[in-house]
Amino acid sequence: MTVLVTGGAGYIGSHMVWALLDAGEDVAVIDRLSTGFRWALPAEAKFYEGDIADEALHAKVFTENTIEAIIHFAGSIIVPESVADPLSYYENNTVKSRALIAAAVKYKVPYFVFSSTAAVYGTPQSPEPVLETAMLNPESPYGSSKLMTETMLRDTANAHDFTYTALRYFNVAGADPKGRTGQSTVGATHLIKVAGEAALGKRGHIDVFGTDYPTADGTCVRDYIHVSDLANAHLKALERMRAGGDSLVANCGYGTGFSVLEVLETVTKVHGKSFDVRYVGRRAGDAVMIVANPGLAKQELNWQPKYDDLDFIVKTALDWEAHLGRRNDR
């Protein structure tokens, strides 16, 4: 039995591949290498280069392997890009996911884990950590494109012998504590990655997008989760479905919020040197504040975060950034 990881050469996907191999699973990967890297994949993972919606590739992957579960990461992930180019987000995240779900039904794959996002909530109506039952009100095409996939999964699970877990990720950051993989995307936009690049002198400065939000220091608040804890939640989801658990939608975050300025202070502290920070206007599509209530994941998945410490998240991100700086194949 093999676990198929889509987007396995990407940031979160490559951490998942390592976590599965560490747990003794057989792994196959589909990735078209549009943003991922072949070198991010361990040799033990069977690699298929191509598109997740390609039916000829499905025929090959699903007949060459007995796929027991699909863990689906492939997709586009940048909120402001989705505002500027919504149709490519609906294509990549929704239309292509539909093709992959259809393949799961066709080839009788019983389990599916989906990378969903806190962006399905938009800005929650209360400042309390958000529960899965909160109103779903995405503020960007990115969030909508993911919510549509959640809906397809729900309806497919009602109609077919198919169980899914949708994990709503909060802000994923950091890198493998063993240094085997990390966030390697060129032109990355996510805060901790960009701050790491600025700290290491790979970019001249970092912009803070908006200082007039209704938060304690005027900058947006997010719940940053270490990528290895997130990968572990997927393993737990798989374990639970194998044991007969029903379909589930669960938040993946720690329940603690940090503002953009708090994150930048942490990066400065952990790095030990300051870097150029500039204050600019708001960025399109940003929710003011979003923090997870992770109770359901802890209870249902028996998930216990190990790295819920912003200093550690930042340290592993900086270590990876320094490692990337020493590589010459990118």
Q: Which residues belong to the active site?
A: 142
Pick the piece of the chain touching ligand UDP (CB under 6 A) from 48-56, 95-103, 155-163, 203-211.
203-211
Helix (H, G, I), strand (E, B) or coil at 15: helix
For ligand UDP, which residue of 209, 254, 258, 275 counts as binding (CB under 6 A)? Answer: 209
Residue 130 DSSP class: B
Of the pair 86, 245, the CB lying nearest ligand UDP is at: 86
Q: Does position 98 bind ligand UDP by CB under 6 A?
A: no
Give me the least distance between CB of 50 and ligand UDP, in Å please: 27
Contacting ligand UDP within 70-89 (CB under 6 A) = 79
Give me the least distance between CB of 316 and ligand UDP, in Å please: 16
Of the pair 65, 76, the CB lying nearest ligand UDP is at: 76
Of the pair 257, 305, the CB lying nearest ligand UDP is at: 257
For ligand UDP, which residue of 28, 238, 260, 317 counts as binding (CB under 6 A)? Answer: 260
The whole-angstrom separation of Cα 173 and Cα 37 is 18
Contact map string, positions 138 to 177, toward ligand UDP, x by CB under 6 A = ---------------------------------x------
Q: Which residue is nearest to ligand UDP (CB)?
A: 220
Of the pair 16, 220, the CB lying nearest ligand UDP is at: 220
Q: Where are the beta strands (DSSP E) in 170-276?
A: 171-173, 206-209, 221-222, 224-226, 248-252, 258-259
Q: Under a CB-based contact definition with an 8 Å cutoff, are residues 174 and 307 in contact? A: yes
| Alpha-carbon distance values, 155 to 131, 148, 150, 151 (Å) | 21, 11, 9, 6
- What is the H or E stretch that residue 263 is in? helix 260-271
* CA distance from start to end of the chain: 34
Rg (CA), the chain: 19
- What is the H or E stretch that residue 233 is in? helix 227-242
Contacting ligand UDP within 183-202 (CB under 6 A) = 189-191, 194
For ligand UDP, which residue of 206, 237, 250, 270 counts as binding (CB under 6 A)? Answer: 206
DSSP secondary structure of 27-39: EEEEE--SSS-GG
For ligand UDP, which residue of 199, 220, 237, 314 counts as binding (CB under 6 A)? Answer: 220
Helix (H, G, I), strand (E, B) or coil at 266: helix
Give me the least distance between CB of 264 and ligand UDP, in Å please: 8
The whole-angstrom separation of Cα 273 and Cα 276 is 10
Of the pair 154, 283, the CB lying nearest ligand UDP is at: 283
| Alpha-carbon distance values, 212 to 2, 33, 66 (Å) | 49, 38, 53
Going by C-alpha positions, the residue among 278, 299, 287 that lies closest to residue 127 is 287
Of the pair 29, 192, the CB lying nearest ligand UDP is at: 192
The whole-angstrom separation of Cα 142 and Cα 285 is 9
Give me the least distance between CB of 134 and ligand UDP, in Å please: 16
Of the pair 14, 219, the CB lying nearest ligand UDP is at: 219
Give me the least distance between CB of 117 and ligand UDP, in Å please: 7
For ligand UDP, which residue of 26, 207, 262, 265 counts as binding (CB under 6 A)? Answer: 207
Binding site for ligand UDP (CB under 6 A): 79, 171, 189-191, 194, 206-209, 220, 222, 260, 283, 286
